């Protein structure tokens, strides 16, 4: 007579317990990596759409440089005409009430930061001020942290591409971690193959 071999209930429970412990260590990292990837993807999508709108605007104006188009005098009209805006607010009224920096400081966007703010059809919020654009890629949803879901970009007057605005004496990394606007973080993302490593 042949004996059948199998696992006892105790062995199965121990194995399941070990797998549970391993999962509890790895799941937060996996979830965080997924969120970061989703945020970077959303930012890249915004950049492509915004730069496409700039190219279209230059073509319509018959100019080869964005600075020649007069866009800075008519920035609000450009955004309303070329992006899928669902709501326009005076000043920073569309922005969330509180933003944080990676280093932990907090603050809010003021009307000096935003001449106008907009909610787009994909729920992103942008704050515009004459060629300077801050974007909260997931609207008012958390974490509302510069460099995580909030980034500030500048229109390059020659190329009509969005660039980072980290040339004020501090390094991009210093700016990225210290301010609520996410200034410097876009450049770091590009340098790190679109991975959040700061």
User: In this predicted model, what pLDDT tens digit does every residue of 41-81 receive, in sequence order?
Assistant: 999 999 999 999 999 999 999 999 999 999 988 898 999 99
Sketch the domain layout of the chain as residue ranges. 9-191
Percentage of residues in the chain having pLDDT higher than 90: 67
| Across 118-122, average pLDDT | 96
In a 3-state reduction of DSSP, which class is residue 130?
coil
Share of residues in the chain with pLDDT > 70 (%): 96
> Residue 23: what pLDDT?
80
Give the contacts of 151 (CB within 8 A, at least 6 positions apart). Answer: 43, 134, 135, 137, 181, 182, 185, 186
Check pLDDT > 60 for residue 172.
yes
Please, which residues bridge with residue 153 across strands? Answer: 133, 164
């Amino acid at each position: 007579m042949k004996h059948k071999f199998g696992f006892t209930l105790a062995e199965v429970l121990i194995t399941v317990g070990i797998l549970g412990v391993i999962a509890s260590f790895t799941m937060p990292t996996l979830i965080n990596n997924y969120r970061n990837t989703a945020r970077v993807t959303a930012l890249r999508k915004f950049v492509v759409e915004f730069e496409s709108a700039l190219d279209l605007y230059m073509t319509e104006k018959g100019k080869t440089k964005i600075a020649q188009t007069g866009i800075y005098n008519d920035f609000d009209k450009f955004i309303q005409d070329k992006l899928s805006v669902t709501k326009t607010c005076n000043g920073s009224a569309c922005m969330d009430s509180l933003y944080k920096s990676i280093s932990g400081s907090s603050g809010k966007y003021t009307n000096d930061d935003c001449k106008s703010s907009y909610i787009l059809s994909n729920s992103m919020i942008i704050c515009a001020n004459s060629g300077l654009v801050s974007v909260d890629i997931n609207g008012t949803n958390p974490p509302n942290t510069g460099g995580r879901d909030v980034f500030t970009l500048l229109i390059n007057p020659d190329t009509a591409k969005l660039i980072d605005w980290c040339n004020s004496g501090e390094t991009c990394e210093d700016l990225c971690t210290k301010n609520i606007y996410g200034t410097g973080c876009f450049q770091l993302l590009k340098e790190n193959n679109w991975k959040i490593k700061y």
